Amino acid sequence: MTKLSVNINKIATIRNARGGNIPDVVKFAIDCEKFGAEGITVHPRPDERHIRYNDVLALRPVIKTEFNIEGNPIKSFNELVLKVKPNQVTLVPDAHNAITSNAGWNTKENLTFLTEIIEEFQRAGIRTSIFVDADEEMVTYAAKTGTDRIELYTEPYATQYPENPEAAIEPFVRAAQLAHKLGLGINAGHDLNLENLKYFHENIPFLDEVSIGHALISDALYMGIEETIIKYKECLM
């Protein structure tokens, strides 16, 4: 069964635009779990323009499913993860000024760096995942780091899907098959939505988890969060 982890960054973005605590990030996470989400994802950035470090600390005691913290492994991020000890940390090579994640790691060039970070998190009992493109060389070097999983960066799939689903999915199938052969778990995320998620799930073998935020939260503006989570989970059946 592929788990649905809801990225709640956009809820924090709305809150921060006005100040105060509306909408309540913690309550929203609890409700997502109540409505069927199998995980909650947050991506705290150094400028705290959406999820804040304090949000991460407040969320940890209340999340009953899986807590996934993703981000660039700079010193402050690493200290936060080691303090919170989520179920999973996903390493993402974000520039400080990036609007959103836009590429996976070059795992070959960053092999030593990633290996050292992953060893530290694993010693703390935290499952690790590396954000990678659907590139077999990058998957191969991800496995060399000792990571538990990879997360496939799916924006290229989502962009090509409307015109040619078969071509869009092909490199992801190859990457997933190789990852499984190398003993890696497989997550996926970025621009997955109600139009392209079902096809992705049907064609990607061994998919453990998808992390979805922007599209899911946008759909919830029209359908409500409970109905939206139900529809996304139907795509994963």
Active-site residues, by number, are: 43, 70, 190
Contact predicate 232/194, CB 8 Å: yes
How many CA atoms within 13 Å lie on the side-chain side of 106? Answer: 3
Q: Which of 71, 63, 52 is nearest to 26 (CA)?
A: 63
Contact predicate 118/154, CB 8 Å: no
What's the burial of 127, exposed, middle or buried (CB within 10 Å: 0-12/13-18/19+)? Answer: middle
Which pairing describes strands 66-71 and 185-189: parallel, antiparallel, or unpaired? unpaired
Residue with structure tokens 């071509």? 167
CA distance 237 to 232: 9
Which residues is 149 bridged to in the sheet?
A: 129, 185
